[in-house]
Amino acid sequence: MASQHGDRAVAFSLQLEQAHQELRRQLATLRAGSPGTLTTHCLAFCAAVAAHHQGEDAGMFADLLRERPDLTGTVAKLVEDHEMIAWILTRITDLLRGPSTDSLAGELDGLAAILESHFRFEERTISAALDATPDTGWSAGVFEFRDATGGPPS
């Protein structure tokens, strides 16, 4: 039983890295894409990032802290990052719905930098603890999201 739990739990840290890699790939595709498809794909990407972070905030972090209360400060920093990223996603969404998307490229560049820093910090600070965290149903919200074209992640 312990090895089954261990095998399953180890997959969570790997799945977190894979989810982050998929979001990185989607953002790179958006930044290189044509303006004609940007609006639809960008809105889908913003929704995917928001869903991923909501899954972490609503489930994964609570279970993680039950196992590792010593990570309270780290989780607080990650939640703070999520709030800042949500604000940027709202700005991007507002730009896409507004009369001009002139500053969109700059917003996407800023989002890319912040997401990269956030993903690296999260992977570095909680992966080992995540390996020992049971899944009480949170994993679907964290790892299962759609890509920027509306399909499942590749």
pTM for this predicted structure: 0.84
Residue 25 scores a pLDDT above 50: yes
d(CA 103, CA 123): 30
Residue 108 scores a pLDDT above 60: yes
Does some domain include residue 48?
A: yes
| Structure confidence by residue, pLDDT tens digits, 109-149 | 999 999 999 999 999 999 989 988 888 888 888 988 655 55
Output the domain CATH number for residue 55.
1.20.120
Does some domain include residue 148?
A: no
What is the predicted pLDDT for the residue at 132?
85
Tokens representing 41 are: 């794909």
The number of folded domains in the chain is: 1
Does some domain include residue 15?
A: yes
Does some domain include residue 153?
A: no
Does some domain include residue 150?
A: no
d(CA 147, CA 125): 26
Q: What is the mean pLDDT of residues 66-90?
A: 96
- Supply the mean pLDDT for the chain: 85
d(CA 95, CA 100): 7
